[in-house]
Chain A
Amino acid sequence: MAYSEKVIDHYENPRNVGSLDQEDESVGTGLVGAPACGDVMRLQIRVNDAGVIEDAKFKTFGCGSAIASSSLATEWIKGKTIDEAGTILNSQIAEELSLPPVKIHCSVLAEDAIKSAIEDFRKKRAAKQALSSES
């Protein structure tokens, strides 16, 4: 199957590959997909006190479209607030990368990864606030 130029670009020059410290309280981690399905994405965000995503990293097990979707997702969310990042839709990712119908699930997974990372960060922040209000 033929890949779009943008998919090939992200696949060959992936942006923001790597890891952030999962234990760091300013870091949110989203791990979505399943090895049995052939796609696993891990997307991590570092959020500052103003709620802005200062850094984003990903690692993906999957096809070229899955790698490109996660690479693009990290590129898009960097510099956005977590509220803004949470509004990114899979359809926008699919459109930007010209994903064929059979690859739409890759963009769905990228959207899930963003949402999951934000949720993880929010949980951590809520737990931290609960802890500081107790003391």
Chain B
Amino acid sequence: MTLKFPIYMDNHATTPVDPRVLSAMLPYFTDTFGNAASRTHAYGWTAEAAVDDARDTIAQLIGAESGKEIVFTSGATESDNLAIKGVAEYYQAKGNHIITTTIEHKAVLDSCKRLEKQGFTVTYVNVGADGLIDPQAIEAAMTDKTILVSVMLANNEVGTIQPIAELGKLTRARGVLLHCDAVQGLGKTPFDVKSMNVDLASLTAHKIYGPKGVGALYVRRSKPRVRLSALMDGGGHERGNRSGTLNVPGIVGFAKACKILLEEGAVEAEKIRALRDRLYQKITKELDSVILNGSAERRLPGNLNISFAFVEGEGLMMAIKDVAVSSGSACTSASLEPSYVLRSMGLPEDMAHSSIRFGLGRFNTEEEVDYVAELVIGKVKRLRDMSPLYEMHKAGIDINSIQWAAH
């Protein structure tokens, strides 16, 4: 088999649409193109039936009671906004305090920041060096004004899997709602809204080999019944939670992607984990001073976030341009600030600058992993030969002992 370049190992950013998903979607663009809200003819009924089937499949994947608890959105950013702002507005008479973590996606953090401007109080709980939240820290932050706790299932940078079930016990006992941004973990790590006592969950199709532009928010309908204030005004679709004509082909594709995960997810996770471990083992066998960022055990199977000490991440990405990955070095951003997730974990800034995130997925092969490992090893060695820091390290100089001028 010949390799296709660049080799895609950025599956946390997005994933290709699975051909089976695409086949399921196609008829809904042309033959059965109806508006799911059209009640007067068969085109509408067919579309509505497909959407309702999709709701049930998605509900099944997350252990929801009913498809009626699925509200379709344009993606996870909208789902996060709807969950946080929708709950805050609806329950503001009950309290004005929200708890989240410092490593959430910007869609959660920036929604919280906007609420702060509107008079809400938000506590941002920090993670440990392993990238995990301590449930006790969440409990300690709770007050009688707390209405919502929002914690992600798995982190998009370091892949750490948060203790959602423990958090669910705490929030349920206190009568506080729990929102979980489940985007990265969906279908890759066990997630069950019922047993974990999750009240709202953000989901998206394009991270699970479905199409971009379609997501969902799980909204619990009983024990407790969760209510939301809608963000958008319009036709009152999705039981008034989200107006706007439904993206029927996208929803059908989303459901097909979930169906594949229901059938193959567990086996696939083990296959991807083996590839990830192979990559890590090959790299660490040949290179010294490689640090794994985030817990090794509580981690998404496809995630490998490692820092190559003494080598700058963007410089390394330029050297391995045959591989599509991402870096915690924000050298390309105007702020020049490295990843806020890695810094929240207490990683020194130089190590954050040296980090590369490999995100393995369904379509990666052992051959690709071997190629990438060889490439990375060679390029890191070359860049270290050019690095004054590596030379100092080899000479036994502690680079932290040097007074560096800030610039």
Nearest CB in chain A to that of B333: its residue: A102
Contact B318 A64 (CB under 8 A): yes
In the assembled complex, which residues on chain B have CB atoms less than 8 Å from the CB atom of A60?
386-388
Q: Which A40-64 residues have C-beta < 8 A from chain B?
A: 40-42, 59-64
In the assembled complex, which residues on chain A have CB atoms less than 8 Å from the CB atom of B390?
61
- Check: B65 CB closer than 8 A to any chain A CB: no
Contact A63 B318 (CB under 8 A): yes
Please choose the segment from A28-36, A80-88, A118-126, A127-135 that sits at the chain B interface, where 4 or more of its residues have CB less than 8 A away: A28-36
Among B338, B387, B390, the most chain A Cβ lie within 10 Å of the Cβ of: B387
Q: Which B289-336 residues have C-beta < 8 A from chain A?
A: 310-315, 318-319, 329, 331-334, 336
From B310, B319, B331, contact of A38 by CB (8 A): B331
In the assembled complex, which residues on chain B have CB atoms less than 8 Å from the CB atom of A114?
none
In the assembled complex, which residues on chain B have CB atoms less than 8 Å from the CB atom of A19?
391
Among A42, A59, A108, the most chain B Cβ lie within 10 Å of the Cβ of: A59
In the assembled complex, which residues on chain B have CB atoms less than 8 Å from the CB atom of A67?
315, 386
Contact B311 A38 (CB under 8 A): no
- Chain A interface, DSSP helix/strand/loop, else mixed: mixed
- Chain B interface, DSSP helix/strand/loop, else mixed: loop
- Check: A117 CB closer than 8 A to any chain B CB: no
- Check: A20 CB closer than 8 A to any chain B CB: no
Contact B348 A38 (CB under 8 A): no
Please choose the segment from B45-53, B274-282, B398-406 that sits at the chain A interface, where 4 or more of its residues have CB less than 8 A away: B398-406
From B318, B331, B348, B407, contact of A109 by CB (8 A): B407
Q: Which B373-407 residues have C-beta < 8 A from chain A?
A: 385-391, 399, 404-407
In the assembled complex, which residues on chain A have CB atoms less than 8 Å from the CB atom of B350?
35-36, 38
Nearest CB in chain A to that of B402: its residue: A31
CA A36 to CA B352, docked complex, whole Å = 8
In the assembled complex, which residues on chain A have CB atoms less than 8 Å from the CB atom of B312?
38-39, 61-63, 66
| Interface residues of B, count at CB 8 A | 31
1/0 contact string of B353-377 vs chain A (CB within 8 Å): 1000000000000000000000000
- Check: B349 CB closer than 8 A to any chain A CB: yes
From A33, A59, A64, A109, contact of B404 by CB (8 A): A33
Contact B318 A17 (CB under 8 A): no
Q: How far is the CB of A40 from chain B (nearest CB, A)?
A: 6
Instruction: Name B's A-contacting residues (CB within 8 A).
Output: 310-315, 318-319, 329, 331-334, 336, 338, 348-350, 353, 385-391, 399, 404-407
User: What are 15 of the A-B contact pairs (CB < 8 Å)?
Assistant: A11-B318, A17-B386, A34-B407, A35-B350, A36-B349, A36-B350, A36-B406, A38-B329, A38-B336, A42-B388, A61-B312, A61-B315, A61-B389, A63-B318, A67-B315
Q: Give 18 A-B pairs besides A38-B353, A40-B387, A60-B387 with Cβ atoms closer than 8 angstroms.
A: A3-B318, A11-B319, A17-B385, A31-B388, A33-B404, A34-B406, A35-B348, A36-B404, A37-B349, A38-B314, A38-B329, A40-B388, A59-B391, A61-B389, A64-B315, A67-B386, A102-B332, A102-B334
